[in-house]
Amino acid sequence: MSSKRKSVIIIGSGAGGTSLAARLAHQGFDVTVYEKNSFSGGRLSLIHKNGHRFDQGPSLYLMPKIFEETFSDLGEKISDHLDLLKCKSNYMVHFHDGDKFELTCDLAQLFDQLKKHEGNDEQTLIRFMDFLKETHIHYENSISMALRENYANWYDEFQLKHIPLLNKLHLWDNVYNRTKKFFLSEKMRKAFTFQTMYIGMSPYDAPAPYNLLQYTEIAEGIWYPRGGFHQVVEQLEKIATKKFDAKFVYNTGIEKIIVDDNQVAKGVRLESGDEKYADIVVCNADLVYAYNKLLPTTPYGIRLGEKGQFTSSSISFYWGLSRKVPELDVHNIFLAEQYQSSFDDIFKRNLLPEDPSFYVNVPSRIDPSAAPEGKETVVVLLPISHIAPNNENRIDEMTAIARSKVIKTIEARLKINNFEELIETEEINDPRSWQSKFNLWKGSILGLSHNITQVLHFRPKTRSQLFKNLYFVGASAHPGTGVPIVLCGAKLVETQIMEDFGMIERIDNRAKIFTQYFIFVLFLIAIGYLFSLIF
């Protein structure tokens, strides 16, 4: 390898792009990040209006150890950069009939509430502990199998060590079916499955291992960085630029990724027409958008755009309220009575649910700096279909209906007569704005879905298989969506680039894997031969 520093262009300053910029700059690469917007973070950005601070996208700081690892890998202590506030209660869940259920890390308090719905006997506790045990298994094995390994080749997935995990992970079952085995009441089944909304999927479709979300919430809690979730990206950018000399260039959109006749990515053409060249190009823009808009047309890109299965979009309301609303907690879930039908409306019929479930975040309840004194900052996220032929001309209508439904539901379940009158500041994101602001394909807020045919080896690779020296980090690339998952993806890409450019030795598993299978086949043949002798 040449002693000259290898240059890297990163497209987009989302969580994946920013963390990877810090990682590669730390390893000695010459890193430049180009961002189309005037702000960093992508969906992990802020809206400021009339003294209110809104988290535009993620507001749930989960899996804290992964964040700690990211800062530690950069030689930093996370406590020197983030003031993390732990929510006293994870959620207040509001059911259709006015009943409430508080999800909390306090197991004694949680069990007391469970008894009201599941029965006041030891079997309720046993079933709940069995649920925690299974979700713990899903959590630990999913991290080791999905987040720590990069499936660059088909044979990487088919290692013998993975075979025992397949049964433990219940890959062929879904989150709701697994939860039914531990909870008897419909309300508790809802309360322990709605979390799949955070990966943009229905609990009736999301593979069972994604109940790891319930585990991390109960075992590790839900946190919030003082100053907003965007602090994560701000601090990573500060480390990248101040400590490792990475460069971030804002208000600079990318028109094309430059690919030469040998299908090697050489750099980018900016929307201004200028061309910038580098040894390596990393795309943190939406992967499906990149394959269809930034790269030469390929059957693969067309197939992803037309045939790929996508997560939901959302209609998100950002409301500044004229006074405090003590009836709301930091995190609030309002669940539909017709639970399965509401998800089918989104994922099967591409419609606004007739009876929607939605999430309400009130950051000013845990961090008063999110709102002017005496006022409240509220973010409402209502899942809705991504843009589809039967809804693309109805988004204004659906947004108005959604707003009315949310307000009426809050007023009815919290017994507040004039909630709408409290709204003095309002911003709205709908599928079109998610698409235009962040180039999200079809306005899908979390990218490609996580069904069985779109995970592990089957998910788009972190290294492009079509164009050399081109890499991807972000929600639609392996390992998947969600801020901590994308941070893991950045670490995988860092390792992959360093292997590809000879900075560390590549670990080639082919010989080991094929040897294991050869021995396994011989074992099966021997067993078969013994049985033939006996019988």
pLDDT digits (tens, 9 = 90+) for 165-206: 777 899 889 999 999 999 999 999 999 999 999 999 999 999
Neighbours of 103 (CB within 10 A): 21
Dihedral pair phi/psi, residue 372, rounded to 5° = -60, 155
Any idea of the CA torsion for 405, 408, 411, 412, to the nearest 10 degrees? -100
Neighbours of 525 (CB within 10 A): 10
* More confident call, 535 vs 47: 47
Instruction: Establish if 178 belongs to a structural domain.
Output: no
Instruction: Establish if 528 belongs to a structural domain.
Output: yes
Report yes or no: 156 and 149 within 8 Å, Cβ to Cβ.
yes
Instruction: Establish if 121 belongs to a structural domain.
Output: no
Strands 275-277 and 30-34: unpaired
The dihedral of CA 307, 308, 312, 315: what is its sign? negative
Residue-wise pLDDT for 354-390, tens only, equals 999 999 999 999 999 999 999 999 999 999 999 999 9
Closest to 168 measured CA to CA, from 141, 145, 147, 192: 141
Please give the pLDDT value at position 158.
66
| 2 — pLDDT class (breaks 50, 70, 90) | very low
- The SS3 call for residue 224 is strand
Find the length of the chain: 535
Closest to 335 measured CA to CA, from 161, 196, 516: 196
Give the domain range for residue 517: 511-535
> E strands, 221-330, where?
223-225, 247-249, 254-259, 265-270, 275-277, 280-283, 313-321
Instruction: Establish if 524 belongs to a structural domain.
Output: yes
Instruction: Establish if 521 belongs to a structural domain.
Output: yes
**How many domains are there within the chain?**
1
pLDDT higher than 60, residue 1 = no
Instruction: Establish if 98 belongs to a structural domain.
Output: no
Neighbours of 274 (CB within 10 A): 10
| 506 — pLDDT class (breaks 50, 70, 90) | confident
Please give the pLDDT value at position 4.
83
Instruction: Establish if 117 belongs to a structural domain.
Output: no
Instruction: Establish if 519 belongs to a structural domain.
Output: yes
